[in-house]
Amino acid sequence: MVKRVFDILFALSALVIAAPALVVIAMWIKLDSRGSILFRQERVGLRGRPFLIYKFRTMRSDAVAHGLQITVGADPRITRSGTFLRRYKLDELPQFVNVLIGHMSVVGPRPEVPRYVALYPNETRDLILSVRPGITDLASIAYRNESMDLAAVGDPEELYIRAILPAKLEHCCQYVREQSLLLDLVIVWRTAVAIFAKGSPRRSG
């Protein structure tokens, strides 16, 4: 109950404070490339229920049909505005709407696409999906350079599935077992520091 109240108050405050920036970002995206302002994608949420996650579009409108479901390095599908938005995680601001709806929390395991959730070990999947997914989490901080790491190998999806995804799941399980309001506040603070730290490119997903 306390977590849900925190989520609602935080999301409302963030959307009100960011309202002018949301308008500017929306206009920039529209002028920068063809396509919708928002990107919608099915993710797996609480108790395995699918939902549509909202983001500002940072890739060409045909990106899904021409590449992986993960972002790799200086992905040519990323638009000019998208590079900046991803750098400062501004593309994820619309997810505060997901929080208000009840699909997500401010802090929680990042929601994955069904393709990758199908690879979770059963017990791990049950544990992670027992809580609402979040906008940020421990794995987001630990793997903020993920896209650069993936760009350094010949088969980025193989590396993601074999090494990065299992490591992320460990962070997710740790969060679920230790979750508290204090931990959420610590993660929010660490996320802000990571975003604005010099030379820290953002994670994908």
Q: Which domain holds residue 34?
A: 2-196
- Amino acid 144: pLDDT: 83
Q: What secondary structure letter does DSSP report for 164?
A: I
Q: What is the mean pLDDT of residues 85-100?
A: 95
In-domain check, residue 178? yes
Rg value, the chain, Cα? 16
Distance between alpha carbon 107 and the CA centroid of its chain, in Å?
11
Tally: H helices and E strands in the chain: 10, 4
Amino acid letter, 8: I
Q: What share of the chain is helix, strand, coil (3-state, %, to 5)?
A: 55, 10, 30
Instruction: Dump pLDDT digits (tens) for 121-152.
Output: 999 999 999 999 999 999 999 988 777 777 77
Output 196 or 14, whichever has higher pLDDT.
14
In-domain check, residue 202? no
Bridge-partner residues for 43, per DSSP? 51
Q: Interior CA angle at 134 toward 47 and 73, to 5°?
A: 115
In-domain check, residue 23? yes
What is the total count of domains within the chain?
1
Contact 194, 144 (CB under 8 A): yes
Q: Which of 78, 107, 77, 81 is nearest to 10 (CA)?
A: 107
The model's confidence at residue 66, banded by pLDDT at 50, 70 and 90, is low
In-domain check, residue 145? yes
Express as a percent the part of the chain with pLDDT over 70. 90
**Over 50: is that where the pLDDT of 204 sits?**
no
**Over 60: is that where the pLDDT of 33 sits?**
yes
Query: Where is 141: in which H helix or E strand?
Result: helix 138-142
Instruction: Dump pLDDT digits (tens) for 39-60.
Output: 999 999 999 999 999 999 998 8
The model's confidence at residue 203, banded by pLDDT at 50, 70 and 90, is very low
Which tokens belong to 126?
A: 């049950």
In-domain check, residue 203? no
